[in-house]
Amino acid sequence: MASLALLLGLLLFSFIITSILIVPFINMLYALKFQRANQETRDAFGKLTPIFDKFHKQKAGKPVGGGLLVIIVVSLLFAMVFPMIKYLGIEVTSLHADLQSNVNILFFTFLSFGILGLYDDVKKFFQFEKEKFFGLRMKHKLILQIILATIISVMLYQNLGIDFVHVPFVSHSLHLGWVYIPFATFTIVAFANAVNITDGLDGLAAGTLMISLFGLWFLSASILDVPLSIFLALWIGSLISFLYFNVFPARMFMGDVGALAFGATLAVVGLLLGKVLALVIIGAVFVFEIFSSFVQLLSKKIRKKKVFPAAPFHLTLQQKGWEEPKIVQRIWLVQVMLTIFGVWLAVI
């Protein structure tokens, strides 16, 4: 019970610290003009996206980069709190024997993808596209994501010896051997981009992510993985504070700095727990959003036709006349049931 009290206390502490800092942080973003520009957007093939622009033109001028505050708060609080745990009489246990590698992998993912996302935000909002140093295209950014994800996957495989995937209804896990490295790499890159694509409506990505993290937090706590449980407690607390300012009508947005970092880290948490199949269920909203975008882009490229009226799928709902808060709230409810189902699959 002491560890449960600690985790709940850390969640509240992270929430309070973020809440104290978030208004000055929003003001700083305004001062730096780190804001969503009122400009035309393009898809992965450089084509204009008029439907997206139609539903998002009113969001121009809102500050972007709230994910950066969450990353900073969670990282600093973890660095401060985790070394003190043993002095509180709490045994530091983990699913993996190498505690340091466990923590290193988490924060390498959290920070490296955050830096890549921050670069993307800076490039877009400070209009550096034409500068050579800032001239990376989408395919180059994808290559960087794959490189980072491969490094993380090798660390999971070599440092922690993870090569397994839990299979529901089966008593033994499925061991993949070296194939685990490309499998994990794909999972990390897919979720990083899936959360980024889902982050299109006020509170959609952040709220869906928060519910997902509660499910993974339950799983980590149930197997007494203390470092992961502490990390998730701090992350959830900070994310709830951010979500307060991100729900409709949003005062600030997550930005690529948050979306890429949060998506990649969500995947790594699932990989650390060995619950990738459960993660696919828990993260099914993100999976479907990126799937709808991929199918749409592929169909437009090959068949010159659309599969959906608009993609990702939340834009289709807007196109059909659903109001933004209605879409978000109903997806949250779907996410609650998906998380419960995913957790159930993970524990049977």
Q: What is the DSSP string of 107-132?
A: HHHHHHHHHHHHHHHHHHHTT-TTSS
For residue 175, give the H/E element and its range.
Answer: strand 174-175
Q: What is the mean pLDDT of residues 230-235?
A: 97
Q: Look-up: residue for tokens 């727990």?
A: 273
| Residue 12 confidence (pLDDT) | 98
- Beta strands 174-175 and 164-165 are antiparallel
* Amino acid at site 124: K
CB atoms within 10 A of CB 14: 25
Range scoring the smallest mean pLDDT among 129-133, 162-166, 252-256, 322-326: 129-133
Neighbours of 164 (CB within 10 A): 15
Rg (CA), the chain: 20
Residue type, 7: L
Write down the mean pLDDT value for the chain.
Answer: 89
Lowest mean pLDDT among 72-86, 141-155, 261-275, 300-314: 300-314
| Helix segments in the chain, DSSP class H | 2-31, 50-56, 66-81, 99-125, 138-158, 180-198, 204-222, 226-246, 255-273, 276-282, 284-302, 313-319, 324-347
CB 194 within 8 A of CB 263: yes
Return d(Cα 75, Cα 53) in angstroms, integer. Answer: 35
138: Cβ contacts below 8 Å, ≥ 6 apart: 44
Segment 67-78 mean pLDDT:
98
| Cβ neighbours for 218, distance < 8 A, ≥ 6 positions apart | 343
pLDDT recorded at residue 49: 64
Task: Give me the mean pLDDT over the 121-139 stretch.
Answer: 63
Q: How confident is the model at residue 317 (pLDDT cuts 50, 70, 90)?
A: very high
Q: Is the pLDDT of residue 134 over 50?
A: no
CA distance 147 to 189: 10
Classify each residue of 21-56 as buried b or exposed e, where b means 16 or more C-beta atoms within 10 Å of its C-beta.
bbeebbeebeeeebbbeeeeeebeeeeeeeebeebb
Task: For 83-122, write each residue's pLDDT tens digit.
Answer: 888 787 788 888 887 889 999 999 999 999 999 999 988 8
Most distant CA pair in the chain: distance in Å?
A: 63
Q: Which residues are within 8 A (CB) of 25 and not within 5 positions of it... i.e. 6 or more apart? A: 66, 69
Q: Is the per-residue pLDDT at 126 higher than 70?
A: no
Going by C-beta distance under 8 Å and a sequence separation of 6 or more, which residues neighbour residue 215? 282, 339, 340, 342, 343
pLDDT-based confidence at residue 231 (cuts at 50, 70, 90):
very high
DSSP 65-101: -HHHHHHHHHHHHHHHHGGGGGGGT-----SSS-HHH
pLDDT of residue 164: 86
Residue 340, number of CB atoms within 10 A of its CB: 15
Cα separation, 276 vs 188, in Å, equals 11
